[in-house]
């Protein structure tokens, strides 16, 4: 990989995709094509110095247009969101398989040299995530397959597609399994936001409104690990520069409960809130954490931004956006 390569960032109008474009520009890449289904006015980050296209990559023709003349593809395009969204939109999430299928085939046709696929920890066997004290999920724990219904199945199937395009056609594949990525310039309202952004929004709203009661989905004892966006971008770079072609965890191993997550944001905001638990809300698995043994052995690195540090940046950004009134958050 070098800065003269022609790069496609599919889903580049989204949260992680926008930060990838930002990173590529800082590293001197000049020939970047960014494609997203959303109108460009709704992209989380937009850069005038790149080629910006609003297009639906679920169609074969759009995928061929997007990959024409491209050396490197980053595929982050998908219909997804937090647990509330993916549990209630299983068919919509599974339709994202069209994006990866068409992009892989178009990449083969157009001679793409390297292809990155953004997968998810939702591929992991749900039977291994029934206790809050999760010891960490190894890459091999995706099989026997029993992933999150809908979204998880799509991600696991798309991983297999990548594997077989590497085996059958020689397309140089990299796959990262993201674990709850968060940070500034992301979704924090509207139903697609994940837990860190949702908690930051709820506590920021408490600061602004003076009403210190917030709603928590579940009993708050369910556990997760959350990965700051800077670590995610660094990890993607390291994975792309490596020779490893199998799926690899890209997640923090700092597991916390949702109640502990709230406590961290309370400390950052300087307030205490009253937690009202909504026990019938979508909760996902009981416990999930990233086992980083493999990434450390391969890359001599793992995500290392503490949750408190990452949440401080995220909370301050969310609060500022809400105070500016740039989002309809009420």
Domain count for the chain, please give it: 2
Do the Cβ atoms of 255 and 148 come closer than 8 Å? no
DSSP 41: G
Residue 141 lies in a domain: yes
120 touches 139 (CB < 8 A): no
State whether 217 and 240 are in the same domain. no
Q: Is residue 34 part of a domain?
A: yes
Termini Cα distance of the chain: 44
Residues 158 and 204 reside in one and the same domain: no
pTM value is 0.95
pLDDT digits (tens, 9 = 90+) for 56-78: 999 999 999 999 999 999 999 99
Closest CA to 117 of 293, 240, 253, 255: 240
pLDDT value of position 202? 96
Q: Mean pLDDT of all residues in the chain?
A: 95
Q: Active-site positions?
A: 151
pLDDT in tens, 79-104: 888 778 888 899 999 999 999 999 99
The CATH number given to whatever domain includes residue 286 is: 3.90.25.10
Output phi, psi for 321, to 5 deg.
-65, -40
Per-residue buried b or exposed e for 238-270, using 16+ beta carbons within 10 Å of the residue's own CB: bbbeeeebebbbbbbbbbbbbbebbebbbebbe
327 secondary structure, DSSP code = S
Sheet holding 172-178, edge to edge: 51-54, 32-36, 7-10, 72-75, 114-120, 172-178, 247-250
Query: What is the per-residue pLDDT across 249-308, written as a single tens digit (0 to 9) for each?
Result: 999 999 999 999 999 999 999 999 999 999 998 888 999 999 999 999 999 999 999 999
């Amino acid at each position: 990989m070098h800065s003269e390569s022609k790069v496609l960032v599919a889903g580049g109008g989204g949260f992680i995709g926008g930060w990838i474009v930002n990173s590529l520009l800082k590293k001197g890449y000049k020939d970047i094509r960014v494609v997203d289904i959303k109108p460009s006015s709704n992209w989380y980050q937009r850069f005038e110095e790149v080629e910006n296209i609003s297009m639906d990559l679920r169609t074969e023709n759009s995928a061929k247009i997007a990959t024409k003349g491209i050396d490197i593809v980053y595929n982050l395009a998908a219909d997804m969101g937090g647990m509330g969204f993916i549990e209630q939109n299983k068919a919509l999430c599974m339709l994202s398989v069209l994006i990866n299928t068409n992009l892989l085939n178009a990449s083969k046709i157009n001679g793409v040299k390297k292809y990155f696929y953004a997968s998810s920890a939702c591929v992991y066997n749900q039977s291994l995530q029934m206790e809050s004290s999760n010891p960490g999920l190894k890459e091999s724990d995706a099989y026997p397959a029993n992933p999150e219904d809908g979204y998880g199945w799509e991600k696991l199937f798309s991983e297999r597609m990548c594997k077989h395009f590497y085996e059958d056609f020689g397309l140089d594949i990299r796959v990262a399994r993201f674990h709850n990525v968060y940070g500034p310039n992301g979704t924090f309202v509207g139903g697609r936001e994940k837990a860190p952004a949702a908690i930051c929004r709820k506590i920021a709203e408490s600061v602004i409104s003076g009403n210190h009661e917030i709603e928590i989905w579940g009993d708050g004892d369910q556990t997760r690990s959350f990965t700051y966006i800077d670590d995610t971008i660094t990890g993607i770079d390291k994975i792309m520069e490596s020779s490893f072609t199998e799926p690899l965890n890209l997640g923090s191993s700092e597991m916390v409960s949702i109640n502990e997550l709230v406590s961290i944001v309370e400390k950052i905001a300087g307030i205490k809130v009253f937690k009202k638990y909504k026990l019938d809300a979508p909760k996902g698995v009981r416990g999930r954490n990233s086992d980083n043994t493999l990434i450390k052995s391969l890359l001599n690195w793992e995500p290392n931004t503490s949750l408190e540090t990452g949440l401080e940046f995220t909370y301050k950004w969310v609060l500022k956006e809400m105070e500016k009134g740039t989002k309809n958050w009420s």
